[in-house]
């Protein structure tokens, strides 16, 4: 299998001498093309930090991150911006939609900044809206949408550019369980139909069980790795719950 | 310790303070330089005649300064509020750290003092530099000689500036205290999160309203072009009201209109960050349309009045030409003598007025024809210039002087004399550049008949020099005829022209000025004795001609510049507040991979639009306004508009452009440091 993301021996320190936090402590893993990978861990374990490093928002202290054969730890700020624009898609916990723009415009922005042609933009948005079932809300402003709709619009914005890697940080964090399920199902669908590679951070076992593989981290280190394989979602969920219990029960689930 | 904290705060947030600092500095600079006008007169050769105008100007500027200081204080408070708002979060953090409100107030007082002191200092230095430029301008406007350049420093004006702005700072500090004491911690911490409500309007309504506004503005233009500048005419008032309504409506609906239009052109709409830029502009105009409209109208009034004043002044310069040729000149009209047949020479004798040895003088006669300018040029008046002669001194009989007298007058001012044959005459007038029919007359006619006798016009070009000093009726028209003809003409007045010579000029000036003043003041003491002698020394004439216009121009510039600064500052502060409330949006943009270059570009466009929208409409309004006012003031020299527009454009570009740049940089910084 072709690997899209290769994280090798990265470390991330915060703070200065005398008062150092090791947010990431020697983590390595790979994500293959078309995989749907979850990252779990208790609060403060370094999930967001890891995602920020992969998404080029933050920089690693040591180690390398290779996305699509490009070592992003070597890139200068300008190619980095372009890389982020062209190769990555983001979904945030608090949606991060632009409040002044309609749904359509929010999605279109991801394409216009790539200098795509107007005709192409229209079509791409139509098709992604159909996939995520948001055709009706395209003309609405974020304040007129429900939380789940907002997150699906944000997801549409993240995948409409057909990025090599979609990064999601707690995408269901602000959603109720029904909206969460709808969103996760659409993630699954994207993963199956569009072959989108998804890396999703969560601390919620229910959300996590939609992934094919789960990397569990604790105190900045990889603690465990769970693979769903051919087991049913229910079985996978139970497996996750076990690990969560092992971790010390400071992770919640809302089932 | 608190002071140190305040210093650090100012250093840290100096970029936020830029616009506040700039506004304060500009204000202080302008305030000082105009209030130092009085001191400037010290370095100029101001004659007694000009001193009274200088005094009037100083007084008027003092009065205007009171109003202007109110405007400027308002502006400072406005800019200060922005800074406080921008720093509410910081305040909240201080409070959570357990700092008392009292201590916080102190920090703010120190900060205000530091910034205030700094800008007062810088502003005064700039003001002192600017006042040197202003004194050159004063010299120019009052047509005074600046024999030597001397540094002008007005202690009075410095004290006044410090007092006025001191009061403004005290007010700002007081308001800060009120704001701080009212704030609740929770508001402060959430301050940056609050997003202004985005108002969404129905696009169809926007478009219709926009069209209505265009119609209203068009109607208003049409009306005012028809009725002209007649402030008492109801139609004129209607046009003003329509213009104001149209402007307000235009800004109210502009954004919605633009969005609809641009959405239709997908190539523009779906390019780069245009979607975002458009929505930002839309949001901003929608929330601020009132103030934008007011700024637009203020800019319009400022531009038109600056323009009108400069062209009025340039016009004046034109009409003055040839009207101050003698050191002194006076006339006693036959209709205004006490005893019939008295000449000016006899009148002066009666008053025991005597000439010095150094003075050269010429007594001569003025005759009148039974003919008016209108009679001569009437064949050359057509539809395009029917109104030309209106409001001109064309209802008086044409003046005539004999060749000998004319030549003597020429010699008096050291100019070439002329010769005339028996059937020739000369035409002297400055009507040529304002009354086209005169020129056509000169081109087509060779002669003027006097008492049924044709006299050939000897000069091809009009003589442009008056034979007297005349600051009131600057339009003149007279003929020079052979001496013999004088016997057939009616005497209309007796005149004297004087050359002061080289030695006792000042003494002579004082003597003649005093003499003429006795008649010029209403019910002057000599009038009963000898009749009304109207006379002006060159200095008096110059002072009258330039004095009034100089006063108007100074006041206009003063107010105009302050309005310009206020408008630009308000636009700038609005834009920076907008930057503050939009911070979240920029963070999102950065997260989805928008490059810094693109972000800077959208900031540039947004700022440009914020500054240009009101400006462009103001300029369009102004074009109409200038057409109307130049009609009203009969701007005859079209070059005048060119030269004055250059001056005004430079002033506007400097102030407006300066604010634009500072705002753009400030906006970029706010976004970058988020
Ligand atoms: N900017 C920072 N400066 C200093 N320390 C930081 C910074 N960001 C994160 N940390 C520290 O790094 C560690 C990992 O933080 P991180 O945000 O990655 O946790 P997380 O797994 O996302 O937790 P949560 O589930 O609560 O979101 C924490 O101990 C945190 O205190
Ligand atoms: Mg986190």
Nearest to A88 among B267, B593, B598 (CB): B593
Regarding the beta carbon of A228 and ligand 1, being less than 6 Å apart is answered no
Q: Which helix (H) or strand (E) holds A17?
A: none
* d(C-alpha B247, C-alpha B613), whole Å: 11
Residues of B whose CB is below 8 A from A100: 198, 276, 279-280, 282-283, 585
- Residue numbers in B near A81 (CB within 8 A): 593-596
Cβ A52 under 6 angstroms from ligand 1: no
Element (H, E) at B461: none
Of residues B424 and B520, the one with the higher pLDDT is B424
* pLDDT (average), residues B410-416: 88
Chain segment B488-531, per-residue pLDDT in tens? 888 989 999 999 988 888 888 888 888 888 876 655 666 667 78
CA distance B57 to B60: 5
Whole-angstrom distance, CA of residue B609 vs CA of residue B452: 70
Q: Which long-range contacts (CB under 8 A, 24 or more apart) does B443-452 make?
A: B444/B380, B448/B376, B448/B479, B450/B369, B450/B371, B450/B425, B450/B481, B450/B485, B450/B488, B451/B488
Interval A36-75: pLDDT, tens: 999 998 888 899 899 989 988 888 999 999 988 889 988 8
Cross-strand pairs, A198: A36, A166
Give the separation between CA B447 and CA B440, rounded to whole angstroms. Answer: 13
**Of the segments B392-396, B536-540, B552-556, which one has the largest average pLDDT value?**
B536-540
Ligand 1 site, residue A21, Cβ cutoff 6 A: yes
Given an 8 Å threshold on Cβ–Cβ distance, is B275 in contact with A101? yes
Ligand nearest to the CA of A14: 1
User: Which DSSP letter does residue B462 get?
Assistant: P
Judge whether B265 is closer than 8 Å to chain A, CB to CB: no
Q: Does B426 have pLDDT greater than 70? A: yes
pLDDT in tens, A83-124: 888 888 888 888 889 988 999 999 999 999 999 998 899 999
For position B107, what pLDDT does the model report?
Answer: 82
> Which atom of ligand 1 approaches the CA of A45 most closely?
21
Q: Is residue A29 part of a domain?
A: yes
pLDDT band at A15 (very low <50, low <70, confident <90, very high): confident
Whether residue A61 lies inside any domain: the answer is yes
Please give the Cα distance from B672 to B667 (Å, whole number): 9
In a domain, A254, yes or no: no
Tell me the H-state helices in B475-582.
505-520, 527-530, 538-581
Mean pLDDT of chain B: 83
Contact check, Cβ <8 Å, A118/B270? yes
CATH code at position A233: 3.40.50.300
Name which of A71-80, B101-110, B166-175, B237-246 the model is least confident about: B101-110
| Banded model confidence at residue B196, pLDDT cuts 50, 70, 90 | very low
CA distance B88 to B63: 38
Q: Identify the pLDDT of residue B387.
A: 62
Collect all residues with Cβ–Cβ distance below 8 Å to B37 and sequence separation of at least 6: B54, B57, B58, B61, B134, B138, B554
| In chain B, % of residues over pLDDT 70 | 89
pLDDT attached to residue A254: 40
Residue A43 domain boundaries: 3-247
Please indicate, yes or no, if residue A228 is contained in any of the structural domains: yes
Residue B439, classified by CB atoms within 10 Å of its CB into exposed (0-12), middle (13-18) or buried (19+), is middle
Higher pLDDT pick, A121 / B546: A121
Question: Which token pair is B55?
Answer: 């005094």
Work out how many CB contacts closer than 8 A connect A with B.
84
Per residue in B250-271, is it b (16+ CB within 10 Å) or e — as a string? bbbbbbbbbbeebeeeeeebbb
Q: How confident is the model at residue B19 (pLDDT cuts 50, 70, 90)?
A: confident
The helix or strand, by DSSP H or E, that contains position A131, with its residue range, turns out to be: helix A118-132
Q: What is the pLDDT of residue B194?
A: 45
Instruction: Name, in order, each residue with C-beta under 8 angstroms of B365's C-beta and a sequence gap of 6 or more.
Output: B401, B402, B405, B486, B491, B493, B494, B495
The separation between CA B107 and the C-alpha centre of its own chain, rounded to angstroms, equals 42
Residue-wise pLDDT tens digits, B227-247: 887 777 888 889 999 999 999
Q: What was the pLDDT predicted at B505?
A: 84
- Residue in chain A closest to B595 (alpha carbons) equals A81
Binned at pLDDT 50, 70 and 90, residue B303 comes out as: confident
SS3 content of chain B, % helix, strand, coil (to 5): 70, 10, 20
Residue nearest to atom 24 of ligand 1 (CA): A43
> Nearest-5° angle of CA B33, CA B25, CA B108?
140
Give the model's confidence band at A28: pLDDT under 50 very low, under 70 low, under 90 confident, else very high.
Answer: very high
Helices B101-141 and B155-182, axial angle in degrees (round to 10): 150
A57 with B270: Cβ contact below 8 A: no
> What is the count of structural domains for chain A?
1
**Separation CA B504–CA B356 (nearest Å):** 9
Whole-complex ipTM: 0.86
- Closest-approaching ligand to the CA atom of A49: 1
* pLDDT for position B390: 60
What is residue B442's predicted lDDT score, i.e. its pLDDT?
84
Place of tokens 């990265």: A10
* Cβ distance of A81 and B195 shorter than 8 Å: no
Flag the least confident range among B95-109, B113-127, B288-302, B629-643.
Answer: B629-643
Instruction: Report the side by side order of strands in the sheet with B328-337.
Output: B447-450, B453-457, B424-429, B477-481, B397-402, B360-372, B490-499, B328-337, B531-537
A141/B598 touch (CB, cutoff 8 Å), yes or no: no
Chain A contact for B672, CB < 8 A? no
Evaluate if residue A1 carries a pLDDT over 80.
no
A106 domain-assigned: yes
pLDDT at A253 over 50: no
Question: Cα separation of B298 and B247, whole Å?
Answer: 12
Contacts of B260 in chain A (CB under 8 A): none
Residue A148 lies in a domain: yes
B48-105 tens-digit pLDDT: 667 777 788 888 888 888 888 888 888 888 888 888 877 777 777 777 777 777 787 7
Please give the pLDDT value at position A255.
Answer: 39
Report the alpha-carbon distance of residue B628 to residue B304 in Å, rounded: 10
Per-residue pLDDT band for A176 (boundaries 50, 70, 90) equals confident
- Average confidence (pLDDT) over A115-136: 90
- Asked whether residue A168 is assigned to any structural domain, the reply reads yes
How far is Cα of residue B56 from the mean position of the Cα atoms in its chain?
A: 17
CA of B573 to the centre of ligand 2 (A): 36
Name the DSSP letter for residue B382.
-
Span A122-148, mean pLDDT? Answer: 90
Phi, psi for B398 (deg, rounded to 5) = -70, 135
Q: What is the mean pLDDT of residues A28-39?
A: 94
Query: Any CB–CB contact under 8 A between A165 and chain B?
Result: no
Q: What torsion do the CA atoms of B518, B521, B522, B527 make, to the nearest 10 degrees? A: 20
């Amino acid at each position: 299998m072709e690997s899209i993301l290769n994280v090798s021996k990265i470390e991330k320190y915060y703070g200065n001498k005398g008062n150092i936090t090791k947010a990431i402590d020697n983590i390595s893993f790979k994500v293959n093309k078309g995989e749907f990978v979850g990252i779990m861990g208790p609060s403060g374990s370094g999930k967001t930090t890891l995602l920020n490093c992969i998404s080029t928002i933050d920089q690693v202290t040591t180690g390398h991150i290779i996305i699509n054969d490009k070592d992003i730890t070597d890139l200068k700020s300008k190619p980095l911006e372009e890389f982020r624009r062209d190769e990555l898609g983001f979904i945030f916990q608090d949606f991060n939609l632009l409040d002044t723009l309609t749904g359509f415009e929010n999605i279109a922005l991801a394409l216009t900044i790539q200098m795509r042609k107007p005709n192409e933009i229209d079509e791409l948005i139509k098709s992604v809206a159909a996939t995520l079932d948001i055709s009706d809300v395209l003309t609405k402003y974020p304040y007129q949408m429900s939380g789940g709709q907002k997150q699906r619009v944000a997801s549409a914005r993240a995948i409409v550019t057909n990025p090599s890697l979609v990064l999601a940080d707690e995408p269901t964090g602000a959603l109720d369980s029904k909206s969460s399920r709808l969103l996760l199902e659409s993630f699954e669908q994207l993963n199956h139909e569009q072959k989108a590679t998804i890396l999703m951070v969560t601390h919620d076992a229910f959300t996590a069980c939609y992934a094919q593989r789960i990397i569990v981290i604790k105190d900045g280190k990889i603690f465990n790795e769970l693979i769903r394989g051919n087991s049913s979602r229910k079985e996978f969920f139970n497996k996750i719950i076990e690990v969560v219990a092992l971790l010390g029960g400071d992770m919640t689930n809302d089932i | 310790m608190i002071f140190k904290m305040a210093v650090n705060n100012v250093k840290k947030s100096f970029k936020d303070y830029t616009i506040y600092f700039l506004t304060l500095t500009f204000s202080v600079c302008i305030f000082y330089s105009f209030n130092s006008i009085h001191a400037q007169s010290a370095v100029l050769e101001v004659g007694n005649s000009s001193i009274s105008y200088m005094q009037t100007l100083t007084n008027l500027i003092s009065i205007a300064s009171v109003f202007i200081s109110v405007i400027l204080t308002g502006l400072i408070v406005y800019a200060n509020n922005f800074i406080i708002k921008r720093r509410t979060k910081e305040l909240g953090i201080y409070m959570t750290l357990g700092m008392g409100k009292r201590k916080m107030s102190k920090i703010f007082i120190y900060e205000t003092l530091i910034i205030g002191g700094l800008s007062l200092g810088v502003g005064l230095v700039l003001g002192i530099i600017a006042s040197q430029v202003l004194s050159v301008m004063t010299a120019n406007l009052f047509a005074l000689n600046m024999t030597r350049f001397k540094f002008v420093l007005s202690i009075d004006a410095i004290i006044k500036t410090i007092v006025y702005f001191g009061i403004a700072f005290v007010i700002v500090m007081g308001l800060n205290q009120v704001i701080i004491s009212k704030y609740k911690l929770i508001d402060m911490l959430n301050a940056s999160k609050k997003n202004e409500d985005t108002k969404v309007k129905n696009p169809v309504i926007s478009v219709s309203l926009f069209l209505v506004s265009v119609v209203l503005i068009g109607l208003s233009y049409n009306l005012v072009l028809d009725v002209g500048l007649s402030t008492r005419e109801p139609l004129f008032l209607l046009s003003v009201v329509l213009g104001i309504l149209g402007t307000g409506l235009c800004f109210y609906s502009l954004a919605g209109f633009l969005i609809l239009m641009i959405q239709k052109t997908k190539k523009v709409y779906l390019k780069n960050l245009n979607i975002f830029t458009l929505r930002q502009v839309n949001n901003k105009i929608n929330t601020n349309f009132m103030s934008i409209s007011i700024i637009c109208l203020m800019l319009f009034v400022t531009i038109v009045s600056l323009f009108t004043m400069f062209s009025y002044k340039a016009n004046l310069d034109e009409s003055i030409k040839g009207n101050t040729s003698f050191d002194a000149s006076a006339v006693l009209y036959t209709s205004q003598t006490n005893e019939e047949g008295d000449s000016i020479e006899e009148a002066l004798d009666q008053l025991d007025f005597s000439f010095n040895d150094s003075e050269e003088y010429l007594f001569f006669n003025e005759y009148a024809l039974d003919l008016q300018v209108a009679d001569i040029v009437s064949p050359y008046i057509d539809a395009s210039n029917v109104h030309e002669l209106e409001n001109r001194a064309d209802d008086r009989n044409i003046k005539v002087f004999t060749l000998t007298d004319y030549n003597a007058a020429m010699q008096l001012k050291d100019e070439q004399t002329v010769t005339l044959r028996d059937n020739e005459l000369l035409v002297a007038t400055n009507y040529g550049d304002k009354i086209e029919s005169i020129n056509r007359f000169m081109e087509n006619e060779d002669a003027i008949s006097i008492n049924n006798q044709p006299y050939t016009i000897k000069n091809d070009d009009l003589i442009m020099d008056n034979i007297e000093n005349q600051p009131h009726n600057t339009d003149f028209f007279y003929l020079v005829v052979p001496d013999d003809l004088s016997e057939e003409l009616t005497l209309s007045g007796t005149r004297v022209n004087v050359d002061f010579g080289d030695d006792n000029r000042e003494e002579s000036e004082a003597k003649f000025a005093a003499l003429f003043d006795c008649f010029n003041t209403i019910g002057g003491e000599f009038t009963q004795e000898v009749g009304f002698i109207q006379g002006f020394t060159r200095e008096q004439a110059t002072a009258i001609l330039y004095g009034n216009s100089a006063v108007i121009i100074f006041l206009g510039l003063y107010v105009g510049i302050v309005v310009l600064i206020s408008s630009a500052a308000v636009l700038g502060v609005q834009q920076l507040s907008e930057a503050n409330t939009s911070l979240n949006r920029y963070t999102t943009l950065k997260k989805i991979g928008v490059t810094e270059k693109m972000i800077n570009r959208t900031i540039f466009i947004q700022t440009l639009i914020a500054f240009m929208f009101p400006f462009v409409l103001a300029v369009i309004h102004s074009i109409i306004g200038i057409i109307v006012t130049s009609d009203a003031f009969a701007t005859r020299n079209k070059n005048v508009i060119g030269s004055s527009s250059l001056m005004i454009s430079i002033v506007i570009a400097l102030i407006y452009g300066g604010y634009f740049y500072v705002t753009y940089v400030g906006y970029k910084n706010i976004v970058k440091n988020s």
